[in-house]
Amino acid sequence: MASDMNDYFNKKKSEGGGYKRSSNSGGGNGTGPKGPQMPQMNFNMGSGKAGLIYFIIAVVVVLVLAKPFTIIEEGQRGILSTNGKYQDQALLPGLHFIIPIIQKVYLVDTKVRVINYASRIEANGNTSGILTKPAITVLDKRGLPVNIELTVQYRLNSQFAAQTISNWGFSWEDKIINPVVRDVVRNVVGKYEAELLPRERNTIADAIEVGIRQNVESLKNSPTVLQSVQLREIVLPQKVKEQIERVQVAKQEVERTQQEVQRAKQEALKKAAEAKGIADKARIEAQGKADAITIEAKAKAKANLEIAKSLTPKLLQLEQIKVQGKFNEALQNNKDAKIFLTPGGSTPNIWVDMKDAKKRSSAN
């Protein structure tokens, strides 16, 4: 540019259109036009340096626009494409130089990702590696629709990231994770009746996780590392819910009735035990009284036997003499008394006082 401007001024000077320096500053009789004159500028001296600067600026602009390098952050891998062909090994985190236009680097995320299968779709899109998809609708053993909500955590296998992208493309999770999860859930839940799903929740959750893990890990080069599968909710049809509630109410009623029957049995057993205790007490008391009477009777019989053994004829005569002596004493005091003698004379005599009117009349 400086060279062009210099050529322009030299041309004008040769044509006589340039300004001439006046010999008289006050304006003399010279043939040239009067007025102030512009000093002549020489641009040829800096033309080399300016060209170098412009070249450097152009190189910097090209580098900025072409961007012959890329930076891969931790938790990422770079898939290098040369003329549309992917390199077998992924680029590790760090700075990498590439050939502009010919080579291009695609970044893929190797951090843990999440897919939420939910009835309510939240508007989170693909924020922070979290995807939300509709709940999985499954037909139970009788053909009733059931919605399954679960969360799947997984990540891209960084060791085979390049092969995975080459085989499955960048939408690999929609081709690997999503179809496998839906297929396994339908196969597992379809074996049960809807009413049994809540009761068999833990068994179903284990079967779903085992099925998904086996299907994912059996793929060539293990493109995905499965972290966990969490069964969050089993959404049953309204009619099934009402039926389960009715069954639960009936079961609770049966349990309540059984508890009342058990309580009545315990009460009856308690009363029977009390009655038996009272009867046993009465029986023991009666037995005690009977035993006491028997013992007393036996004692009396034994005493009488002993007495009978001790009653000799002489002893009886002695006793009769004693009684007869008492009667004799009574006759001395009461001359009107009558004496009755029992046959044999072995028993005491009976006498009656005839002075007493009542005794006299009863005696007659």
Instruction: Give the distance between the most distant pair of CA atoms in the chain.
Output: 225
- Residues 84-94: pLDDT tens digits? 888 888 889 98
CATH of domain 113-236: 3.30.479.30
Residue appearing with tokens 């508007």: 123
The CA–CA distances, whole Å, from 50 to 41, 54, 86 equal 16, 6, 43
Instruction: Give the SS3 label for residue 105.
Output: strand
CA distance 215 to 193: 25
- Nearest CA among 204, 240, 231 for reference residue 149: 231
Instruction: Give the SS3 label for residue 352.
Output: strand
- Nearest CA among 132, 247, 254 for reference residue 198: 247
Centroid of chain to Cα 63: 57
Contacts of 112 (CB under 8 A, 6+ apart): 129, 153, 154, 155, 227
**pLDDT value, residue 321:** 80
What length does the chain have?
A: 364
CA distance 189 to 148: 9
- Residues 299-327: pLDDT tens digits? 888 777 777 777 677 766 777 787 777 77
**Bigger pLDDT: 169 or 39?**
169
CA distance 83 to 100: 11
Contacts of 66 (CB under 8 A, 6+ apart): 100, 101
Residue appearing with tokens 């036997």: 305
**pLDDT value, residue 299:** 82
pLDDT band at 5 (very low <50, low <70, confident <90, very high): very low
Q: Where are the beta strands (DSSP E) in the chain?
A: 69-72, 76-82, 85-86, 94-97, 103-109, 113-118, 130-134, 136-139, 145-156, 224-235, 338-340, 350-352
Torsions phi, psi for 344 (to 5 deg): 90, -25
The domain ranges of the chain are 69-109, 113-236, 239-310, 313-363
Tokens of 120: 């309510």
CA distance 347 to 316: 9
- Residues 158-192: pLDDT tens digits? 889 888 898 898 889 889 999 999 999 999 999 99
Tokens of 121: 């779709």
CA distance 344 to 291: 39
pLDDT band at 56 (very low <50, low <70, confident <90, very high): confident
- Residues 246-281: pLDDT tens digits? 777 877 888 888 888 888 888 888 888 888 888 888
